[in-house]
Structure 1
């Protein structure tokens, strides 16, 4: 089974690797990094789709499905489980969603290994003098993706325990942030200390990134505890500015899904507390990120990033409110997760530009110019 899974991951990774190989870009390493960044974003989006369709236990073991490499081979076991519980958690559709997510994750792992090996080769070839090809960040990415894989396994074996699922989400976005930093570095001739106009953004951009991380953790806690509809009105919650809430049970980290630490069912005020805190903290995050976007619009070399940051922030607010009024439709919920990932990506690049002044390399694609 493990050999079959490894072959599947390699086969899925062959297409993006072929795209890099046939590309007209003379810098294949830069192309590989950007393709890996793009597929990691896709993986996060599909991971959100997997979670929001309740497909996380579509295959209740790991890394295979009922000990097999794909749902075709596990068809009999899946059908037996589906007969017992027609709505899940195990169904044929959910099994395929979960396994496709795992195949994509394996392919991203293959691409990160490839990027690490190429970085080491180019760095040694350059006499260990080119900071652009420094292999330490790609090596850290390799270790990071291994940790992410471990939490992916624990997500299944711990039966969607909220703290494990939320950590898995945060690690995925952390991987995206590191890849965005690496991609931004490929768009520069030589990273240098930022000029004065960029330095003024360094602290605000870092603060915005930390606040966004906290907000995403709160949002992940909302999603993994199924608290998205705990407040069905906006801007009030149950018609009150501060409704009745149970923070103690809502924010007990080590507990089973839907249960308190003592094993009782999670009370509704606990779900209200989870939702309300995420909604309230969003006000702070929107204000700070909008301020950083506004400052970026006025900074040479950061105007495009600033504009994108403000547009995605507005979209994130709209999708967040829409999930309440439209009763959490799947497409909008996935888009809301995607907006969070885009904010992470953009803020990572803003932080890079605030730290370094960059000279744009010639011949960059439109996507790569986002890093400049």
Structure 2
């Protein structure tokens, strides 16, 4: 007998929905469509459905529409999981986080439209989207785990490894924030070329573009550090915990995703940020990477019952 068949399906649909909202959010930022509906919310230029809208209005309005539908799915997913998976230790925490994040990022987006927000706050908006996606995916994973009628997988790892996974995941979230800040401050092309910035190892931070160059250099340094941390995580996992298949697969996925993330980021610089696909792909990969690492955190912090 298969358990939680409906919950699994809802989880997959909701996870894909949250991912779509995340991509749409990146598209709104990339195309500068944040004011596509003016400063009105939830209406669009005072209309329920805008008539004969320009492209930026279509992008913003569709983002709002899909986000509203997905928000209801997330709440439904959280309630269903709370009732059917409440015997699993992680369920209630993930259910609360998923609902809080989807509501909070919606309010943050609405506030940005009506009142305007600083670049710092808007950068957090993408970070909350990544947390929302990760929490829904992990809830879905719990439904699939419990549906096998087998004992929950609890890997036995060292304390040092556990904390390395946790701290690397937290650091990844910081890197997400630095990247979102670069995007919202228009600093994507503050540095020409890679790995040098405007032909210099340590570029000058003075002048009108100094703040943007500083944001870009800081993000690059943070991203390179993350790459090195994930290489260490991969080697550590393969050397010590290779027999634990789930951890090994996660380590492989994390390495592949961070390589793709680095490649897409460098490509954005060399294509002068003219490719819409590359920018969205860059946002997608870091969200998937963060989700994989969050799953590793869930695994290594489990206790045998």
TM-score normalised by the chain length of structure 1:
0.73
Q: Secondary structure at the match of 1:174?
A: helix
Corresponding residue for 2:285? 339
Q: Measure the CA separation in 2 of the matches of 1:120 and 1:322.
A: 43
Whether 1:295 and 2:236 are equivalent positions in the alignment is yes
Residue pairs, 1:168-183, within 5 angstroms = 168-183=125-140
Q: Kindly state the Cα deviation for residue 187 of structure 1 after the two structures are TM-superposed.
A: 3.3
Corresponding residue for 2:71? 109
The 3 A distance-change label for structure 1 pair 218 and 139 is closer
Whether 1:320 and 2:298 are equivalent positions in the alignment is no
The 3 A distance-change label for structure 1 pair 291 and 187 is farther
Q: Secondary structure at the match of 1:187?
A: helix
Q: Which of 214, 239, 256 is residue 311 of structure 1 equivalent to?
A: 256
Q: Measure the CA separation in 2 of the matches of 1:33 and 1:356.
A: 22
Corresponding residue for 2:226? 285
Larger Rg: 1
- Please tell me whether the aligned partners of residues 198 and 354 of structure 1 are also in contact (alpha carbons under 8 angstroms): no
What are the superposed Cα offsets for residues 101-137 of structure 1, whole Å, 9 maximum, x if unpaired? 11111111111121133234436xxxx6x22794453
Residue pairs, 1:141-156, within 5 angstroms = 141-156=98-113
Q: Measure the CA separation in 1 of the matches of 2:138 and 2:209.
A: 41
Corresponding residue for 2:173? 213
- Please tell me whether the aligned partners of residues 36 and 56 of structure 2 are also in contact (alpha carbons under 8 angstroms): yes
Whether 1:68 and 2:12 are equivalent positions in the alignment is no
Q: Secondary structure at the match of 2:145?
A: coil
Corresponding residue for 2:215? 274
Q: CA RMSD in A?
A: 2.5
What are the superposed Cα offsets for residues 71-128 of structure 1, whole Å, 9 maximum, x if unpaired? 22xx4xx6xxxxxxxxxxxxx11001001111111111111121133234436xxxx6
Corresponding residue for 1:367? none
Q: Kindly state the Cα deviation for residue 295 of structure 1 after the two structures are TM-superposed.
A: 3.2
Q: Secondary structure at the match of 1:188?
A: helix
Residue pairs, 1:132-143, within 5 angstroms = 134-143=91-100
Q: Single out whichever of 224-233 and 42-51 deviates more from structure 2.
A: 42-51
The 3 A distance-change label for structure 1 pair 281 and 66 is same
Q: Kindly state the Cα deviation for residue 62 of structure 1 after the two structures are TM-superposed.
A: 1.2
- 5+ residue gaps, structure 1: 1-23, 79-91, 247-265, 359-372
Q: Measure the CA separation in 1 of the matches of 2:237 and 2:191.
A: 34
The 3 A distance-change label for structure 1 pair 159 and 191 is farther
Q: Which of 183, 198, 205 is residue 223 of structure 1 equivalent to?
A: 183
- Please tell me whether the aligned partners of residues 218 and 278 of structure 1 are also in contact (alpha carbons under 8 angstroms): yes
- 5+ residue gaps, structure 2: none
Q: Kindly state the Cα deviation for residue 199 of structure 1 after the two structures are TM-superposed.
A: 5.5
What are the superposed Cα offsets for residues 172-193 of structure 1, whole Å, 9 maximum, x if unpaired? 1111222233233223247768
Q: Measure the CA separation in 2 of the matches of 1:31 and 1:49.
A: 27
TM-score normalised by the chain length of structure 2:
0.88
Q: Kindly state the Cα deviation for residue 162 of structure 1 after the two structures are TM-superposed.
A: 0.8
Q: Kindly state the Cα deviation for residue 149 of structure 1 after the two structures are TM-superposed.
A: 1.1
- Please tell me whether the aligned partners of residues 166 and 221 of structure 1 are also in contact (alpha carbons under 8 angstroms): yes
Q: Kindly state the Cα deviation for residue 229 of structure 1 after the two structures are TM-superposed.
A: 0.3
Q: Measure the CA separation in 2 of the matches of 1:284 and 1:355.
A: 24
